[in-house]
Structure 1
């Protein structure tokens, strides 16, 4: 038998079998609720009380930031209304004329 033909075939079967074994192992881990691991063995979806507490704190912080953003949007709308108001524009024009008068003197 010629080894140059058999060697690539054996390597190919080995690579395919390792890939299939990895897929089956991952499927079993997911099915039974085990956390997946990255290439360094660290859990991708860690479970536990510490992580649940962290998610709770981040959710509270997210709610606080959303409330603050809402108030900032309201304030910004008021500022835009004031700036686009014709009375503000008139006052601004008067002040600019006063400024140009004092520069001329």
Structure 2
């Protein structure tokens, strides 16, 4: 085998290309990000990502509303606990 001929150079290029293809195929098969020479890496698209984002957004809005209602209730309880007895009795009667 001649080390200086064009066949050796072509063999090196073919081996390198085959290695790159095999590496990319294995990474894609197992869900790892695929390397792209222009933009860095390409992530595997998640089919349910948009649905998950929508569900989390609606849950976040619901929990934010619940927290604001609880803060209002705590403010009323703090006011009842710190006010004088007469105003507290009137406030409790108003809540009934």
TM-score (norm 1): 0.43
- Higher relative CO (CA 8 A, sep ≥ 6), structure 1 or 2? 2
Larger fraction in strand = 2
Larger fraction in helix = 1
